[in-house]
Amino acid sequence: IWSRETLLHVPDKDNLFKKFYSWLSPGGAVMITDYARRVGRGSDKFENYIQESGYPLEELERYGDHIRQAGFEQVTIQDQTDYLISILQDQLHKLDSGQEEFIRKFSKEDFDYLRSRWQLKLDCCQDGDMRWGWFSARRPNK
């Protein structure tokens, strides 16, 4: 099972990972990339961002605990936030370089909104509030 930045929208991760476990054959694997949060409270800017967005973000280790509790083994958790920062910087550069075309197709308001949200996500990562986790695990060969 592969998922990329979607499971943050699922608040009941325990139930979800139990379903994943039941769907996989013995030896089957999950690979997930998802947004997470720093340990403890983040900045007001970050806390407002995730509340307004409706993102029930978990700490990286807590996210991994949900996977383990479903019965998975060989659970690995990698903090890839630095890599995400480089991706976000590249995407912002591409968005900025295509600003005129974007505005022609959509609107200046759409561009400004999208750019501000992308910048906010980048700022939250650079401040250490938002994390990007890579999670992998296997169903035991039983």
Q: For position 84, which CATH number holds?
A: 3.40.50.150
If one counts the domains in the chain, the total is 1
pLDDT score, position 132: 98
pLDDT score, position 138: 98
pLDDT digit string, tens, across residues 50-93: 999 988 899 999 999 999 999 999 999 999 999 999 999 999 99
Cβ-contact 36, 63 below 8 angstroms: yes
Q: Could you give the count of Cα atoms lying within 13 Å of 90 in the half-sphere of its Cβ?
A: 6
Can you spell out the DSSP letters for 12-39?
Answer: -HHHHHHHHHHHSPTT-EEEEEEEEE-S
Q: Would you give the end-to-end CA distance of the chain in angstroms?
A: 19
Strand ranges for the chain from DSSP E: 2-4, 29-37, 73-79, 130-138
pLDDT digit string, tens, across residues 36-52: 999 999 999 999 999 99
Please count the other Cβ atoms lying within 10 Å of the Cβ belonging to residue 142: 7
pLDDT score, position 142: 79
Q: Which domain holds residue 116?
A: 2-138
For the chain, the residue count is 142
CA distances from 22 to 28, 65, 79 (A): 10, 17, 27
Please count the other Cβ atoms lying within 10 Å of the Cβ belonging to residue 33: 19
Dist CA 84 CA 78 (whole Å): 12
Strand pairing report for 2-4 and 130-138: unpaired
pLDDT score, position 61: 97
Cα angle for residues 98, 93, 99 (degrees, 5° grid): 20
pTM of the model: 0.90
Mean pLDDT of the region 30-38? 98
pLDDT digit string, tens, across residues 84-141: 999 999 999 999 999 999 999 999 999 999 999 999 999 999 999 999 999 999 999 9
